[in-house]
Amino acid sequence: MVEQGWSGIFQIIGALALFMYGIKVMSEGVQRIASLQLRDALQRVTQNKVSTFFTGFVTSSLLQSGSAATLLTISFVNAGIITLTAAAGLVIGANAGSSVTIWMLTIFGFEYNLFALCLPMIAVAMPFVFLYNGRHRNWAETIIGFSIVLIALQFLKSVVPDLHHHQEIISFVSYLGRHGWLSILLFLIIGALLTAFIQSISAAMALTFTLCLNGWLPFEIAAAMVLGESIGTTLTVEVASWVGNIESKKAARMHVLFNAFGALIFLPLLPLVLSGVSWAMVFMFKTGNPFLDKWAMPAGLAFFYTVFNLVCATLYITFIQLYIRMASRTVKAGAVSTQQHNFIDMGSNSADLSLPIALQEIIQQCQRIKSLNGMLNRIINFTSDHDFQEFMVQAQDYLTKLNVNHKATTQYLIGLVEDRSSQITSVQIKSLLNINLLMDHIAGLYSSVYTLIQEKRKQRVWFGPTQRSTLLYRINDAEVMLKRSIQLLQSSSFGRSNWKGFNVDFPEKKLDYIDFENEMMEELDRGEMKLPAVITYYRLSQQLDQINDSLRSILNELSGEDLN
C-alpha cells in the first residue's frame, strides 16, 4: 500500500536498503563459492588485453558488482601483484560485466514476477545455512540473498506511487522534462548524485526502473539518469584508492575515465542511440517500444546500458595504451610515503580474495630482511668509513620500514581472520600471522646486530680471520633460508616436497660452529686475540643464531615439518 508524506519516503528508503542487503548477501555467497578460483585467475593475469578483459568480465559478473571487481583490481595493483597494463583490461572487463547484474535485475525483477517463489526458496535454503559444509551453506546464502532482492523489488514497486493519480506531480515532472538538453543534463547529475550517495548502481537502477514503470520518467530522461549513475558508481573506487600508492590511483582513475568519458561520448549521440535501441527492441527482439510502452522501459534501459558498456569497452580496449596514458596524466605524482604500505579496504568477507595482498606484503618484508642480511655480509668484511656510514643509513631505513609495515600487515591479517573464509584460506592466514610475528622478531635482532657492529667500530675492536669466517658462515646460512622462504612464498608451494636444492644440514652446521669457537678459544689462550673482540663476537653470534633459529621456524611454518 502506497503511503503519503514522510511515511512513504521511509518506505522507499527501506525497500532500497532491503534490496542492497539482498545484493550484499547474494554477492558474498557467490564470492565465497568462487573466491579461490577468482583469486587464482587474478594472480595469473597476463599483459594480453583480451584475456584480462574476459577475466574482469567474469569477476564482475560473479561478484555482482563492477565496483567490487574494480576495487579488487586496484588492491592487487597497490600490492604490486598485477601491472597497470593488466589492470586496464580488468577495469574495462569489470565495467562491461556489470551489465550482467542489471540484466538479472531486469529479467527476474521486472520482466517475470517471481515474488511467489521467494518464500519457498528461502524455506528450502534456510536449513543449509546451519550446516557445517561450507559450500552448501554458501549456495544457501546466495539463494536467500537472491530471494531478498526479489522481495525488495516487489516492495519498491508497491511503495512508489503511481503518478497517474497525482496530477500536481505530473505537472512538475513534465516541467522538468520540457527543457531539452538542459533537462537531460539535470537528470544525468541527479543519477550521478543518487548513485554516489547510496553507493550501489544496482539499487539506483532498480529505483530508476520503478520510477519508469510508475510513470515518473520518460525513456530519454531515464537513459540520461542511467548515464549519470554510471558516473556516480566511480566514487567508491576513487575514494578507496586515496590511501594507496600512485599506481593504484591510476587504476582507479581508469575506472572514472571509462564511465565519465563514455558518458560524454554518448550524451550528444543520445537521441540516435535511443532510436537504435527502440528499433532493435521492436524489430529484432519483438518486444514493446520503450518510448511508448512503460513495461518495455526496464529492458530498454538495460539494453542501453549494455550498449554503452560494450561500445566503451571496445573503444578503450582498442586504444588501451592511450587509455593508460590518459589515466596516468590525470594523477599527480605528489609526495608519496615510502615507509608504510597502506592496504585498500575491500569490504567485509573478502578474506579469500584479499589473501594474495597480505602475502605480497609478507614477501616484501622478507626481501627487506634479505637486504639487511646482504649488507651485513659486506660490513663484516673490510669496509671504508664512508661505505660503513652509508650502509648504516640504509639499514636504519629498512628497519623503520619493517617496523611500520609489520604493524599495518598485522592489523590487515587480523581483519582477514575476522572475515568468513574457506578452510584453506583460514589456515594460510594463521600461518602468515605467525610468519609476520617471526619476521618482526628477526627485525629486532638485526637492529641489535647493527647496534653491536656500530659499537665495535667506535671502540676500534677488530676480528681475526676465524671470527670473521664464522660470522660469515652464519650470515650465509640466513641468506640461504631467506632466499628459500621468498621462493616458497612467491610460488605458494608450502610443501616440503617442492624444496629442491635446499641442502642445509643444520646439525652439521652447529658442529662446525663449535669447532670454530674451540679454535678461537685456543687463539685467546695463546694471546693471539684480545678479550673485547671475543666478547663482541659472542654477542654477535648469539644474535645471529637467534636469527637463524627464527628463520628455521618460518620454514617450519611453511612446511609443517620440524627442520631442527
Amino acid letter, 396: Q
pLDDT band at 415 (very low <50, low <70, confident <90, very high): confident
The pLDDT of 469-485, averaged and rounded, is: 88
Q: What is the pLDDT of residue 445?
A: 92
| Residue 380 to residue 465: CA distance in whole angstroms | 11
Q: What is the number of other CB atoms lying within 10 angstroms of the CB of residue 86?
A: 24
| Residue 90 to residue 234: CA distance in whole angstroms | 15
Residue 200 has pLDDT above 70, yes or no: yes
Residue 228 has pLDDT above 80, yes or no: yes
Nearest to 306 by CA among 106, 146, 153, 110: 106
The pLDDT of 8-15, averaged and rounded, is: 78
Q: What is the pLDDT of residue 456?
A: 83
| Residue 467 to residue 520: CA distance in whole angstroms | 7
The pLDDT of 380-404, averaged and rounded, is: 83
φ, ψ of residue 233 to 5 degrees: the values are -70, -15
Residue 116 has pLDDT above 80, yes or no: no
DSSP state of 164: G
Tell me the DSSP string of 493-515.
---GGG-TT----HHHHHHHHHH
Q: What is the pLDDT of residue 197?
A: 83
Q: What is the pLDDT of residue 502?
A: 47
pLDDT band at 496 (very low <50, low <70, confident <90, very high): very low
CA dihedral 395, 400, 403, 408 (to 10 degrees): -130
pLDDT band at 564 (very low <50, low <70, confident <90, very high): very low
Q: What is the pLDDT of residue 377?
A: 81
The pLDDT of 386-399, averaged and rounded, is: 86
Residue 507 has pLDDT above 60, yes or no: no
Q: What is the pLDDT of residue 495?
A: 43
* Angle (CA) 187 189 194, round 5°: 90
Q: What is the pLDDT of residue 560?
A: 61
Residue 370 has pLDDT above 90, yes or no: yes
Q: What is the mean pLDDT of the chain?
A: 79
The pLDDT of 43-49, averaged and rounded, is: 70
Amino acid letter, 327: A
* Beta carbons of 250 and 297 less than 8 angstroms apart: no
Amino acid letter, 395: A
| Residue 178 to residue 383: CA distance in whole angstroms | 81
Coil, strand or helix at 286 = coil
Residue 87 has pLDDT above 50, yes or no: yes
Q: What is the pLDDT of residue 205?
A: 85
* Beta carbons of 408 and 342 less than 8 angstroms apart: yes
| Residue 557 to residue 22: CA distance in whole angstroms | 40
Q: What is the number of other CB atoms lying within 10 angstroms of the CB of residue 45?
A: 21
Nearest to 34 by CA among 74, 9, 62: 62
Residue 164 has pLDDT above 50, yes or no: yes
Q: What is the pLDDT of residue 340?
A: 57
The pLDDT of 519-541, averaged and rounded, is: 70
pLDDT-wise least confident of 192-196, 455-459, 525-529, 555-559: 525-529
Nine cell digits for residue 16: 532500497
The pLDDT of 469-492, averaged and rounded, is: 85
Residue 45 has pLDDT above 80, yes or no: no
pLDDT band at 514 (very low <50, low <70, confident <90, very high): low
Tell me the DSSP string of 213-259.
HTTSS-HHHHHHHHHHHHHHTHHHHHHHGGGS-HHHHHHHHHHHHHH
pLDDT in tens, 421-440: 667 777 888 888 899 899 99
* Beta carbons of 490 and 437 less than 8 angstroms apart: no
| Residue 305 to residue 227: CA distance in whole angstroms | 8
pLDDT band at 391 (very low <50, low <70, confident <90, very high): confident
pLDDT-wise least confident of 18-32, 57-71, 519-533: 519-533
| Residue 508 to residue 514: CA distance in whole angstroms | 10
The pLDDT of 245-270, averaged and rounded, is: 87
b/e 326-356 (16+ beta carbons within 10 angstroms → b): bbbeebeeeeeeeeebebbebbebbbbbbbb
Q: CA-CA distances (angstroms) from residue 352 to 167, 223, 357, 466?
A: 53, 37, 10, 50
Nearest to 70 by CA among 204, 200, 235, 237: 237
Q: What is the pLDDT of residue 447?
A: 92
How far, in whole angstroms, is CA 464 from its chain's centroid?
52
Contacts with 108 (C-beta within 8 Å, 6 or more apart), sequence order: 114, 146, 150
Q: CA gyration radius for the chain?
A: 31
* Beta carbons of 234 and 159 less than 8 angstroms apart: no
φ, ψ of residue 338 to 5 degrees: the values are -100, 5
pLDDT-wise least confident of 288-302, 327-341, 536-550: 327-341
* Beta carbons of 536 and 461 less than 8 angstroms apart: yes
Q: What is the pLDDT of residue 306?
A: 92
Residue 185 has pLDDT above 60, yes or no: yes
Residue 115 has pLDDT above 90, yes or no: no
The pLDDT of 534-561, averaged and rounded, is: 84
